[in-house]
């Protein structure tokens, strides 16, 4: 489920940016530049795939304690990168006009490279974020992600296309708020799991091994973290039936910092809107 939401969200963001640019080019009768947009998307996707292959190749060369350290670091990097991307999206989710002005400025100056870089960087940013997060999911939950990842991409492209064609309408602000909240919860779970891996490798102290242990004895029990219900909670929210003290502290600290920043930013925006 995580992989579906991640690829859907990231692909939808890319589709929105590409759609805004292509619609602007069509509206201003400059569709001849569409090839620049498609080239930027294609190259960024190719670079993202190469990055995924490199990370997968490097990860396959480790075992034992070294593997645990690598996995823990990868999860931490995923959380750091994802956090910056979530916060960036929150700050720029309404800036459609800025994108159009950027495109207009580049084309008026005959600076086609600027248009290419706008698309390339936007898509690559989402691509890197997706690669790191999906890698974190593979490491943390040891499961296949291909089917749901592809389904998320297809669904995002289809809905974005229908949106620009006027076939569907929905509240974009609510969509980004809900998906950002889910991604923050995913990231908190990855951070806690990365902490667990580094504790297993002896890099971080354990302090209290199990702050609580509510796992039923049988893994077939629905509420066990490997059970039907527990595994869903683990995938969505990083649920752990027997976490260490530092795992819990890292999880809560991440949520408090990111959600606190978000709430403070929204309040600042409301005050700015009132003062205008």
Q: Report the C-alpha gap between 118 and 24 in whole angstroms.
A: 14
Q: What pLDDT sits at residue 160?
A: 84
Residue among 159, 149, 189, 185 nearest 1 (CA): 149
Residue-wise pLDDT for 174-187, tens only, equals 777 887 888 888 88
Note whether 6 and 131 are within 8 A (CB).
no
Q: Is the dihedral of CA 200, 202, 205, 208 positive or negative?
A: positive
Q: What pLDDT sits at residue 156?
A: 87
Which range in 32-41, 58-67, 223-232 is most confidently predicted, on average pLDDT? 32-41
Q: What pLDDT sits at residue 276?
A: 59
Residue-wise pLDDT for 234-274, tens only, equals 777 777 888 899 999 999 999 999 999 888 888 887 777 77
Q: Report the C-alpha gap between 48 and 217 in whole angstroms.
A: 42
Q: What pLDDT sits at residue 93?
A: 61
Q: b/e per residue, 180-199, with b = 16+ CB within 10 A?
A: bebbbbbbbbbbbbbbbbbb
Q: What is the average pLDDT across 190-213?
A: 87
Asked if pLDDT for residue 153 goes beyond 80, the answer is yes
Determine if the pTM surpasses 0.85.
no
Quick one: angle between helices 172-200 and 112-141, nearest 10? 50
Percent of the chain with pLDDT over 90: 10
Residue-wise pLDDT for 54-95, tens only, equals 887 776 666 677 877 888 888 888 888 888 877 877 776 656
Note whether 196 and 68 are within 8 A (CB).
no
């Amino acid at each position: 489920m995580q992989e579906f939401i991640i690829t859907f969200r990231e692909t939808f963001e890319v589709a929105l940016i590409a759609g805004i640019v292509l619609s602007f080019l069509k509206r201003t009768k400059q569709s001849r530049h569409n090839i620049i947009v498609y080239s930027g998307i294609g190259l960024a996707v190719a670079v993202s795939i190469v990055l995924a292959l490199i990370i997968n190749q490097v990860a396959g060369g480790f075992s034992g304690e070294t593997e645990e350290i690598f996995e823990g670091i990868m999860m931490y990097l995923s959380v750091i990168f994802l956090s910056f991307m979530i916060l960036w999206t929150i700050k720029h989710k309404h800036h459609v006009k800025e994108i159009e002005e950027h495109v207009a400025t580049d084309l008026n100056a005959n600076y086609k490279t600027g248009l290419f870089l706008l698309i390339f960087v936007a898509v690559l940013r989402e691509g890197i974020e997706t690669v790191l997060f999906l890698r974190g999911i593979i490491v943390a939950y040891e499961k296949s992600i291909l089917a749901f990842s592809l389904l998320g991409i297809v669904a995002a492209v289809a809905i974005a296309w229908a949106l620009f064609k006027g076939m569907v309408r929905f509240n974009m602000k609510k969509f980004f708020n809900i998906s950002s909240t889910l991604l923050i919860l995913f990231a908190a779970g990855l951070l806690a799991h990365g902490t667990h891996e580094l504790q297993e490798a002896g890099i971080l102290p354990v302090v209290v091994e199990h702050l609580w242990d509510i796992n039923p004895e049988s893994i077939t029990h629905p509420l066990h973290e490997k059970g039907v219900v527990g595994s869903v909670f683990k995938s969505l929210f990083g649920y752990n039936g027997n976490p260490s003290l530092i795992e819990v502290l890292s999880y809560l600290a991440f949520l408090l910092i990111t959600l606190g920043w978000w709430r403070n930013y929204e309040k600042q925006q409301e005050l700015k809107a009132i003062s205008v």
